[in-house]
Amino acid sequence: MLDLYVPALLGFGLLTLFVAWAPLGLKRAPLSLPILCVALGAVVFSFEQFDQFALHPLDGPDLVEHATELIVIISLMGAGLKIDRHFKPLQWQLTARLILIAMPISIALFFLLGQALFGLGAASLLLLAAALAPTDPVLASDVQIESPDSQQDDEARFALTSEAGLNDSAAFPFVHLAILAAAGGWGWPVWQQWLIEPVILRLTMGALVGVAGGWAFGKLIYGFRGNTLSRTGDGFVALGVTLTIYAVCELLHGYGFLAVFLAGLMLRRASRDHEFNERMHDFADETERLLMMVMLFFFGGMLTAGGLLALVSWRELWFALLALFVVRPLAGWIALAGVTRAPQEKFVIAFFGIRGLGSVYYLAYGLNHASFDEPYRIWGAAGLVIVLSILLHGITVTPMMRRLDRARGTA
């Protein structure tokens, strides 16, 4: 390992420079940075010298859980800082439809599809369905609002940004239900415990900590004359706020994902036009991209040296294809029924339910907290969905979003 230390530094440095340069080269290409990072990791870890350092989800679930947890909360803070919409029901109706209609439909369809193809136990199927239901806040950045002062704050980008910010915490109760069912069955005491703690108490605590913590940090950053944190100009304040809010909420047994996103929204509203908003967002965005690069690089290694692709059969392939081309688009169209928007815009919202590192986190979290039937099959199915989502959505996102912008006259 020590012999590889300097080469590893060289590789990390070159990879970091590549992450900085790649968006410029890929601006008009039908490719994305996640595709290249996964491919690079798959190639590097296929060599004998490096395969010993590859992660396997069944051998190191704790490391996988906490690494993906970190990148998700940073991504959620960045998403919150981008959004400049007032809290009015009409302005958030698309988000509400995606969370309250599309997500439950997606979970139900994933459950039934997995039951037909895999024949797993109900708890395992629910864990798989709940992990795949949310739109990933990390890999969905190409279809989200770009920055706090972006001129492309259209309904499609806003809907996908706000959905990615909220649906992680909305999926968590179903992950907890799968954990409780795996440990204690499906009796009334399990449902009662689930309704009281994972649904009511954790969601309420997450909302309270997010709103109150975001308001308090907004005063600390912008509100006190002369000694505000915004005067420092240090963007890593966003990282400090993110970690503090998340840790406090988790210690109080709330959903930290919900608290971090709401705190980002509150910080944005504490001083809408302050240039420090942009500084905090930029730091969060750069940190997210760096961590994303590392995680996707190792995810590529999980596919080859980690043996994830070896867990895939034709059943997993059918599951992944139906998940991407049927389940999410169908759930999205049902959720958007009756909404007066252009068909192309509705298609973009329904189609780009990107699966990624958030799904990896939920699977690792669930498998770390309970024993499920055939975890290798769960990982194989989810892993293939994530790989195909990265490829499919990465190739189509640039031309489709450019076409949407041309249709709106903002390209």
User: Cα–Cα distance between 287 and 208 in angstroms, integer?
Assistant: 26
Residue 221 has pLDDT above 50, yes or no: yes
Mean pLDDT of 274-303: 82
pLDDT per position as a tens digit, 1-13: 556 677 778 877 8
CATH number of 54-408: 1.20.1530.20
pLDDT for res 290: 82
Comparing 268 with 230, the larger pLDDT belongs to 268
CA 21 vs. chain centroid, Å, equals: 23
Comparing 182 with 18, the larger pLDDT belongs to 182
Residue 302 has pLDDT above 80, yes or no: yes
Q: What angle do CA 340, 345, 347 make, to 5 degrees?
A: 105
User: Cα–Cα distance between 336 and 403 in angstroms, integer?
Assistant: 21
Residues with Cβ < 8 Å from 360, sequence gap 6 or more?
57, 64, 68, 299, 382, 386
Comparing 321 with 301, the larger pLDDT belongs to 321
Residue 33 has pLDDT above 80, yes or no: no
Residue 334 has pLDDT above 70, yes or no: yes
pLDDT for res 411: 46
pLDDT per position as a tens digit, 36-78: 888 888 888 887 777 777 777 777 678 888 888 988 898 888 8
pLDDT for res 339: 82
pLDDT for res 250: 94
